[in-house]
A = this chain, B = another copy of it.
Amino acid sequence: MNKPITKPTAATEAPETIKMNMIQAINSAMDVMLGRDPDVLVFGEDVGYFGGVFNATEGLQKKFGLNRCFDTPISEAGLIGTAVGMAAYGLRPCVEIQFADYIYPGYDQIVSEAARLRYRSAGDFWCPMTIRSPYGGGIFGGQTHSQSPEALFTHVAGIKTVIPSTPYDAKGLLIAAIEDDDPVVIFEPKRLYNGPFDGNPDNPVTPWQKIEGNDVPVGHYVVPLGKARIARAGNEVTVLAYGTMVHVAIASAETAGVDAEVVDLRTLSPVDIESITASVKKTGRCVIVHEATRTSGFGAELSALVQEACFYHLEAPIERVTGWDTPYPHAFEWEYFPGQKRIGAALKRVMEA
C-alpha cells in the first residue's frame, strides 16, 4: 500500500487509440487504474450501480465489484473524510463530487486535512486521494450547477488543482492524479463532456467522436501534472485559459482575427510558469479567460504572475475576461458566460493598446 505505481514500459509501438468523448475518457482512466492497482477505488454519490449522474463511472461496479466502486451517503464531508482515512491507510481513493457547487461541505476535510497530512506529520502520513468534480457553466444549470470554484483550491498549499479541456488530457491527467502521492482536485468542464464548445450556443456542437485528432489511447498513459499545452500557436497575444474556455478562446481568436497563442494550462496548481512566461515574452500581450467570478479568481494569480515575470515585455495591460461578480444566473447563461464577443473585444483592445 502506498507503494510506488509500476511505471508503464516505454511503448515500442503506437498504443491503440479510439475516439472517446470526455466522459468515456474519464471512465477509461478509472477503468485502467482499477485494473492496474488493487489499491485504487472509486466512490461517491450515485456512482455505483447507476454509474454517476453523468455516467462517468458507468460499468465500473459491474466490472470490479461492489468493493471497488460504490455509492456513498449524501455527505461530501463524509465521503472526502473517509477517503482521507483510506488514503492514509494506503489506498488511492478516487471520489466524485456530483457537482463542484457541492464541494463546500467537504471543504474543511480538503483544506485542513487532505492538504495538511504530509506536512503536519513531517511525511509520516500522506494522502494520495483524487477528487473529481464536474464544474462550469454553459448548460443552463443555474447557480448551483454551474460554479467554477477552482481559485478556492489553488490558494491552498498541499493540494494540486487540475482542469482538462480534451478527452485525451482528461484521461491522462486523471491517471496522473490517481498515481500522484498528493491530493489532487480535478474539475471537469461538464460543458465539454460531449464535444468541444466554441462559446456560441447557436453553433451545433460536434461530438468528440467526430473531432479529428481526438485519439485517446485505450490503455494506460499519463499527461504529467504541472505542464501546460499550447492549444493554438500564435504570435500576437497570449491567452491563458483552461477547461471550456480553451475552446472558446481559440474560436474567439479566429473570429476576432487576432493571431493569439492559446495556452491551455491543464494544471492550475502548480501552474506551468515556464510555458506562460515563454509565450508572453514572445507575444508581449496577455488576456486571461475564465468562467469563475472575477474578484480573486484564478485569473488574478495569473495576472500577478505574468506581470511579475514579464513586466518589461508587456506592451499592453493584461486583461481578464471572466464571469461577473454575481452568482451564475439561470436565464442569463450567455450574458454571464465569457463568450467570443467579450474575449474577441479584449483581444482587439490589447492589440490596439
Contacts and interface: CB of A to CB of B under 8 A. Distances in A.
B300 A304 contact: yes
A112 interface: yes
A168 interface: no
Contact of A104 (B101, B111, B295): B111
A307 interface: yes
Contacts of A5: none
Contact of A295 (B105, B155, B295, B319): B155
Nearest to A299: B304
A151 B308 CA distance: 20
A108 interface: yes
A293 interface: yes
Contacts of A119: 143, 326-327
Nearest to A144: B112
Nearest to A303: B304
Contact of A296 (B155, B325, B327): B155
A338 to B, nearest CB: 15
B151 A326 contact: no
B144 A155 contact: no
A125 B226 CA distance: 43
A140 interface: no
Contacts of A314: 311
Given A107-B104, A119-B326, A301-B295, A151 B157 contact: no
A307 B318 contact: yes
Contacts of A296: 151, 154-155, 269, 296, 298, 300-301
A116 interface: yes
A157 B326 CA distance: 5
10 contacts: A104-B112, A107-B107, A107-B108, A151-B296, A152-B152, A157-B325, A296-B301, A300-B301, A300-B303, A303-B303
